[in-house]
Structure 1
Amino acid sequence: MDEKRVIEVKKSILAANDDAADAFRAARAADGTFFMDVIASPGAGKTTLLLALIKHLRARGVEALGVIEADLESDVDALKIKEAGVASVELNTRGVCHVEMSMVTMAFEAFDGDKIDYMFLENIGNLVCPADFDTGAHTRVMLLSVPEGWDKVMKYPPMFAAVDALIVTKCDYLPLNEDFDMSRLKKHARILNPSLEIFVTSARTDEGMAELADWVQAQRANNIQ
């Protein structure tokens, strides 16, 4: 009986979160804010990739940008975003391993009604818990860095199945990691998620960033009417 009650509570929490996420997503579509959730393990390069992506969007005339930086503690990444001239809100979860809708709503309100065309959530560095929680995003992407190894697709299948795109980062390290099997990564990722978009990028060399920016802009066009 105890185990059954735990499962029911979890289902109830997720259902309430999903309802709030659907409402938030619809509201952001109505006010013209495209919201993208960026998920990865620690050190995969989330902040660096966002800065490179923002640079490309700005070069195309996009200025109304915002980033929610979720971390267990600190404001290190939020300060990097602010130093680049982009509005940023730090979201400290105080040990919680995922971001829930109540947190997203609170962070969004901290932008004080500023017009934002593109808003990004840099989620907690974790490939487990965030897979279960809808953050109200129109699009979810996950990052996998070359130094981490291709076999993360075998170890964290729910995350690969839950996102719209896989962004392989730090591809400039490929010559140094002979064990990284890109073809096997793509094969196994698309078994889990046949419609998955896959981008191979390097924020350092700019490889793949223009194509990623194209896709992000297309996602906004598809989700914001």
Structure 2
Amino acid sequence: MDKHRTLEVKRDVMAANDAAADAFRAEERAKGEFFIDVMASPGAGKTTLLLALIEELRSRDADKVGVIEADLESDVDAMKIKEAGVDSVELNTRGVCHVEMGMVKSARSAFGDAVFDWMFLENIGNLVCPADFDTGAHCRIMLLSVPEGWDKVMKYPPMFAAVEALVVTKSDYLSLNPDFDMNRLHEQARILNPHLKVFVTSARTGDGIAEFAEWIRARRNEEMAIR
């Protein structure tokens, strides 16, 4: 197969996805719905962090919250979200390692006419493919858990470069992982992304959740002001 032709096909696919993402982003903004794409590797604590964040947002009068739960298979995480009293739709990608705009639009339509102040996408557990695909989100964040190690920033640079905020999760494990070098993580991450916001959190203890919630509320206010 002609390598140049293959590259052109990829560009066409990505361009179509990006155009659909721009249109979706504008539609959601016009409705007053702030859409956040949450990315991380498997086991980083996406669902747990989301539940802690949503609880914090709700304590500040944010009642209308929806979550799109993307997984290769199963509805385990979507059920956790629903059991917490949050509207959730399961998005099974059937083996696809990322989420594309067609999937997002299909999942969003499953909520019907409901309009949310906050819509979260818990993306596929993967630090590679999701970084390349625009999901129509107004804000993209990534999670990195302390047990994973700080050096993921060296191994998966595109993800760190693609997001607005890095949320270090499971900080209560720091005492058990003396090799986790927070200073080097900050330094290397900001080489890749000079404007990156970094939050150190623990959903178990609540550390850092309020600070992160305050920042993401400010981001929503900025985005809604564009309307």
CA deviation map 1:113-169 (0-9, x unaligned): 102000000000000000100000000000000000000000000000000000000
Distance in 2 separating the partners of 1:115 and 1:132: 27
Following the alignment from structure 2 to structure 1, what is the Cα–Cα distance between the partners of residues 202 and 159?
Answer: 22
Match of 2:220 in 1: 220
Partner of 2:78: 78
Q: Report the secondary structure of 1:90's partner residue.
A: strand
The residue that corresponds to 1:16 in the other structure is 16
- Give the match for residue 207 of structure 2: 207
Runs of 4+ off more than 3 Å: none
Unaligned runs of 5+ in 1: none
Identity %: 72
CA distance in 2, matches of 1:73, 1:224: 34
* Residue identity in the other structure for 2:153: V
| Distance in 1 separating the partners of 2:156 and 2:5 | 27
| Aligned amino acid, residue 170 of structure 1 | K
Residue 88 of structure 1 deviates from its aligned partner by 0.1
Task: Please name the residue that 1:31 is paired with.
Answer: 31
**1:171-219 Cα distance to aligned partner (Å, 9 max, x none):** 0000000000000000000000000000000000000000000011011
Is 2:62 the partner of 1:62?
A: yes
Please report how far the alpha carbon of residue 224 of structure 1 lies from its aligned counterpart in structure 2 after TM superposition: 1.2
Q: Which amino acid aligns with 2:68?
A: I
Q: Which TM-score applies when normalising by structure 1?
A: 0.99
- Structure 2, unmatched stretches of 5+, are none
* Mapped pair 1:125 → 2:125: yes
Question: What SS does the aligned partner of 2:142 have?
Answer: strand
| Partner AA of 2:165 in structure 1 | A
Determine the C-alpha separation between the residues in 2 that align with 1:31 and 1:58. 20
Q: Distance in 2 between matches of 1:131 and 1:83?
A: 29
Distance 1:9 1:113 in 2: 35
> Hey, what does 1:98 align to over in structure 2?
98
1:2: Cα distance to partner? 1.2
- SS state of the match for residue 179, structure 2? coil
What is the aligned-residue RMSD (CA, Å)?
Answer: 0.6
Counterpart-to-counterpart distance in 2, 1:11 and 1:212: 35
Aligned partners of 1:113, 1:128: CA distance in 2, in Å? 33
Counterparts of 2:196 and 2:73 in 1: how far apart (Å)?
32
| Per-residue Cα deviation, 1:2-56 (whole angstroms, up to 9, x for no partner) | 1111111111100000000000000000000000000000000000000000000
Alpha-carbon distance between aligned partners in 2 of 1:172 and 1:196, rounded to the nearest angstrom:
23
Q: Is 1:48 matched up with 2:65?
A: no
Partner residue, 2:192: 192
Aligned positions, number? 225
Aligned to 1:141: 141
Q: Deviations over 1:79-132 (max 9, x none)?
A: 000000000000000000000000000000111010200000000000000010
Distance in 1, Cα, partners of 2:205 & 2:133: 33
Distance 1:224 1:102 in 2: 24
